[in-house]
Amino acid sequence: MREGTPKAIRLEDYRPPVYWVDRVALAFDLDADTTRVQARLEVRRNPASSDPNDLILNGEDLELQRIRLDGRPLEPARYRLEADRLILPGVPERFTLETEVLIHPAANARLEGLYLSEGMLCTQCEAEGFRRITYFPDRPDVMARYRVTLKADKTRYPVLLANGNLLDEGMLDDGRHFAVWEDPFPKPSYLFALVAGRLEKRTDTFTTMSGREVLLELYVESHDLDKCDHALDSLKRAMAWDERKYGREYDLDRYMIVAVSHFNMGAMENKGLNLFNSQCVLARPETATDDDFERVLAVVGHEYFHNWTGNRITLRDWFQLSLKEGLTVFREQQFCADEASKAVRRIEDVNLLRTRQFPEDEGPLAHPVRPDSYIEINNFYTMTVYEKGAEVVRMLCTLLGWERFRKGMDLYFERHDGQAVTCEDFLKAMEDANGVDLSQFLRWYTQAGTPRLEVACHYDAKARTFQLNINQWCPPTPGQPEKEPFLIPVTVVLLDPEGREIPLQLAGEAAPQGSERVLALSEAHHAFRFVNVERPPVLSILRDFSAPVKLMLDRPLDQWHFLWRHDTDPFNRWDAGQTLISQVLLAQIDRNAAVLDPHLVEGFAPLLQQPLADRAYTALLLQLPEEDYLAEQMDVIDVDGIHRVRETARRELAAALRDDWLSCYHAHHRPEEWADTSAAAIGRRRLKNTCLSYLASLDDPASHDLALQQYRTARCMSDQLAALRAIVCDAHPAKTETLADFYDRWRHEPLVIDKWFALQAADPSSGALERVRKLLAHPDFDLKNPNRVRAVLGVFARQNPVHFHARDGSGYQLLADWLLNLDRINPQVAARLAQPLTAWRRYDPQRARRMHQALERLRQADISKDLFEIVTKALEG
């Protein structure tokens, strides 16, 4: 058991900093075992603070060597050294503080602060990693100008990088070399970065809207030089897009990205020096799938967009995290939608929200987009802060319309450039730019939970009116039993029996005004009456998923079917299909029977015979709802029933439409396009591989041949992996040898080997637990590499529900065993991987008890505060 309960930090306790730090000079004597860090801080009392004048600096795992104030050594009586703080009572109004500490990068397995990855030294400071480098007021509202000197052995660390501009570089007397970097923009400590290593680079340039030339550099290990083009291209596209869409220009002369193998998350937006998980930046068609290519575009864009939303304007405190993350995810979504298929990107985003964020809102870890307390801030880089946060910004845009939203953004940039601000400041800019009152809208930031919209409608043929009644309510969440109504934009259209949009006229309006309306709900109950509706219409509601809510709308399957064929909104068209199929499958689970519903065949056949122009979108229309989406709709999750019914439907659809799948497959199989990553080629591959996955479920010689043939001839990873998946997940006779072949072929490409691990961890066929044990014992498994750990433990717990939730609790036990090992190495990743256990209340009593036992076991152990927070909230919440 850990000693004492870690303390919660509360938003209401926020105090402005007592001291500002205007300038920081850092000098690093870099070495993997022991690095010496000298810091010189120019400190000044904050006149706006009335707190006592102790200077409190954060510091963790630092060995203090020297401390000087205004050039004179400080006697021990004049400071107090605690486990995680350095306190200097009674300091002057303005002074210079110098410290010298030793740190040990090679021993730093948490991957926060300065650490070693494949021989390269690199940093991760967000959220609170800078305090593992030097003593500092490590909070986002203290913004300083940094000058950084790096000294290191030239053979081991030929490249020395830090934020900003390179001022000087050269040799030192002792054979080492040095580089001096300066960042002209004041920044919070979490955006500090340095890199030292044996790296090669690819470069490019971008000319900004005002005609400045920016140098773009992507640093990688030499064997990855062939995987850089896509990221550089993505960066240029992002830079141009932000200029076009938001009028935002890049501000330094150089933009650097470094690929790192050991990384806790996707990437990090350090000013002028982004660090990326190699997974999110390296890509070439032979080793990366189309999904990977899209991910690189998205993440490169995301980190770039942070330069304005996050860096130039930063956070007052960590509770405001969504101010930069939700907004930046929204910008990233807009960017990707503009660069490829809007419909596809929207569907993917909503899918992620509904399968991952909705369960978070329903569970013990539910928290508002702006949380009001935390034990470990790293636990709050959540789906709610990121994905729901993006939906909240999207709703603002929907309510205001793009023009007015953009005006609000302009004012936000103009008013707060160079500041550390709050979510209220953001909303205030939107209000002031547009003369609107958004006080009710703030509830989206402060109230947790997914609101429900109960919709009922009635067509009166005689009066020719269509009545629409909507109630909203939101279930209680931990610490929030009651909710006030939200301001919810609900986009609606009425379709006539031919699928055409009907002009909309509300009672009281003189004439129809367009055919699509954004209804703004502000009360618990609303009634809308549309007049002059000649024929019974079909309602298309919550178009483009206009709000992150659960729609409760009972209507005959035929109407969902009609929308699946005719809805003019691509998102709603897809969603109608998902609703229809979900209802069919869920009813089959209840009846414990599976008969292929004719609606499904009727819906799929025309799409296969005549795919829509957007092939990637067509592929989505042909997809069955995911298992976790079905799970989300059950009061008690029946993992076995869901898997059985969904697999049966997949097989029956494959059999019923076999010829159609096959001809659609051949019509879209163009092996010569393997290196083409245009949207059209990606669309064809997606559609073809969707066909393959249905056909593979037939488990007969013809489909076995098809999969094996594709595996053997595929030149791009998308096709190769799709074939391998068909072979692995559908009991192909050549499964073992093909897996071995794939491993041999790619053993020197860690990112591809991650896929090999992940595919097997997700394999639903029997014996999964043993297979996962084997993977964990494989010589290439490495508990110190988060990508590898996620590929096995993360994938098993999230993407193999039947075996992770084995009734005897063996899956839970295995996860708990490994979490205890992992927590001693990397608490941040351990806490994240523990999350699948937290939903224990959603399962039957036997499973719930076993999950609870696994959590209890973790709580009893000596665990990090990261894991402690997740586990205790899960047990108590």
403 an active-site residue? no
Pair of tokens at residue 79? 């400071």
Residue 246 interacts, among ligand B3K, Zn ion, none and using kind-specific CB cut-offs from 5 to 8 Å, with none
Query: How far apart are alpha carbons 528 and 532 in whole angstroms?
Result: 13
In angstroms, give the least distance from the CB of 303 to ligand B3K. 5
How many whole angstroms from its chain centre is CA 322?
A: 12
Shortest gap between Cβ of 421 and Zn ion (angstroms)?
16
CB distance 123 to 157 below 8 Å: no
Comparing C-alpha atoms, which of 324, 287, 285, 330 is closest to residue 307?
324
Q: Which does 825 bind (CB under 5 to 8 A by kind): ligand B3K, Zn ion, none?
A: none
Q: Looking at 266-274, 331-339, 423-431, 447-455, which segment touches ligand B3K (CB under 6 A)? A: 266-274
Is residue 378 involved in binding ligand B3K (CB under 6 A)?
Answer: yes
- Using H for helix, E for strand and C for coil, what is the string for 112-146? CEEEEECCEEEEECCCCCHHHCCCECCCCCCEEEE
CA nearest to 711, candidates 692, 684, 686, 691: 692
292 lies in the binding site for ligand B3K (CB under 6 A): no
Question: Which residue has 């999950």 as its token pair?
Answer: 851
Question: Rounded to 5, what percent of the chain is helix, strand, coil?
Answer: 45, 20, 35
Distance CA 579, CA 600 (A): 12
Q: Are strands 488-495 and 538-541 parallel, antiparallel or unpaired?
A: antiparallel
Tokens describing residue 61: 């795992």
Should residue 473 be labelled a site residue for ligand B3K when binding is judged by CB under 6 A?
Answer: no
d(CA 636, CA 850): 15
Whole-number minimum distance, CB 303 to Zn ion, in Å?
A: 7
Q: Does 100 bind ligand B3K (CB under 6 A)?
A: no
Closer residue to Zn ion (CB): 294 or 763: 294
Q: Which is nearer to ligand B3K, 265 or 656 (CB)?
A: 265
Out of 112, 269, 303, 332, the active site residue is 303
Between residues 302 and 850, which has the closer beta carbon with respect to ligand B3K? 302
Q: Mind giving me the DSSP string for 465-518?
A: EEEEEEEEE---BTTB---PPP-EEEEEEEE-TTSPBPP--BTT-SS---S-EE
Among Zn ion, ligand B3K, none, what binds residue 788 when CB lies within 5 to 8 Å by partner kind? none
Looking at 9, 74, 209, 265, which residue binds ligand B3K (CB under 6 A)?
265
Nearer to Zn ion, 280 or 608 (CB): 280
Longest pairwise C-alpha distance within the chain: 95
Minimum distance from residue 125 beta carbon to ligand B3K (Å): 9
Q: Which residue's CB is nearer to Zn ion, number 328 or number 800?
A: 328
Smallest distance from Zn ion to CB 385, Å: 10
Between 304 and 466, whose beta carbon lies closer to Zn ion?
304
Residue 325 CB, nearest approach to ligand B3K (Å): 5
The first and second tokens of residue 384, run together, are 């709610």
Spatial CA neighbour of 99 closest among 39, 183, 142:
39
Point out which span in 25-33, 246-254, 299-307, 471-479 binds ligand B3K (CB under 6 A).
299-307
Q: How far is the CB of 268 from ligand B3K (least distance, A)?
A: 5
Residue with smaller CB distance to Zn ion, 192 or 560: 192
x-or-dash string of contact with ligand B3K, 218-257, rule CB under 6 A: ----------------------------------------
Give the bridge partners for 206, in sequence order: 214
Smallest gap from Cβ 331 to Zn ion, in A, equals 10
The residues facing 160 across adjacent strands are: 196
From 862, 786, 854, 739, select the one nearest 267 (Cα to Cα).
Answer: 786
Pair 370, 322: CB distance under 8 Å? yes
**How far is Cα 379 from Cα 865, in angstroms, rounded to an integer?**
10
The one segment of 202-210, 265-273, 643-651, 863-871 that binds ligand B3K by CB under 6 A: 265-273
Interatomic CA distance for residues 847 and 295, integer angstroms: 35
Question: Which one of residues 224, 292, 325, 869 is an interface residue with ligand B3K (CB under 6 A)?
Answer: 325
Angle CA 391–230–162, to nearest 5: 80
Which H helix or E strand runs over 274?
strand 273-277
Applying CB under 6 A, does 312 fall inside the site for ligand B3K?
no
Binding-site size, ligand B3K (CB under 6 A): 12
Site for ligand B3K contains 127 (CB under 6 A): yes
Q: Which of ligand B3K, Zn ion, none is residue 378 near (CB under 5 to 8 Å by kind)?
A: ligand B3K
Structure tokens at 411: 């004012």
Give the one residue of 269, 387, 719, 730 binding ligand B3K; rule: CB under 6 A. Answer: 269
Q: Nearer to Zn ion by C-beta: 269 or 567? A: 269
Indicate the residue among 191 and 619 with the shorter CB distance to ligand B3K.
Answer: 191
β strands within 137-175, DSSP E? 143-153, 159-162, 165-171
302 lies in the binding site for ligand B3K (CB under 6 A): yes
Q: Which sequence positions are flagged as catalytic? A: 303
Q: Give the residues lining the site for ligand B3K (CB under 6 A).
A: 126-127, 265, 267-269, 302-303, 306, 325, 378, 381
